[in-house]
Amino acid sequence: MKYRSKTEEDVAKLLEGLGVSFQYEPHQIPYIIQHNYTPDFLLPNGVFLEVKGYFSPKDRRKLIAVKENNEGVDIRMVFQAPYNKLNKKSKTTYATWCDKHEVKWCAFHSIPMEWLI
């Protein structure tokens, strides 16, 4: 059996030596951590704009969680470079990620006027 740390391995050996039966990491237990999200801009029409240069994995997870937990909130992304890849090995751009997750997006120099009114 492969353990994640030497200490886990030592505890397993101790349990085995004591004749205690056990399972190692047999389950995943979901949990939620409550956070507050602060969008960058709120427009008079109720639309939130979130401005990003780098769209990190943490930011992407946060955006999905905010959308899932706040039905009806309209958050739109404004990117410095929407065609940047999520990472060096990815084929997915910031723009295609937003399309996949039904998040409206634009480049910072071309915010649609209809978003603003």
Please choose, from the candidates 4, 78, 85, 69, the residue with its C-alpha nearest in 3D space to the C-alpha of residue 37: 69
Please determine, for residue 20, whether its predicted confidence score (pLDDT) is greater than 90: yes
Q: Could you report the per-residue pLDDT of 45-101, keeping only the tens digit for each?
A: 999 999 999 999 999 999 999 999 999 999 999 999 999 999 999 999 999 999 999
For the chain, the structural domain boundaries read 29-116
Q: Could you report the per-residue pLDDT of 94-111, keeping only the tens digit for each?
A: 999 999 999 999 999 999
SS (H, E, C) 95-110: HHHHHHCCCCEEEHHH
What is the pLDDT at residue 108? Answer: 95
The CATH number fitting domain 29-116, selected from 3.90.190.20, 3.40.91.30, 3.40.640.10, 3.40.309.10: 3.40.91.30
- H helices present in the chain, as ranges: 6-17, 57-69, 94-100, 113-116
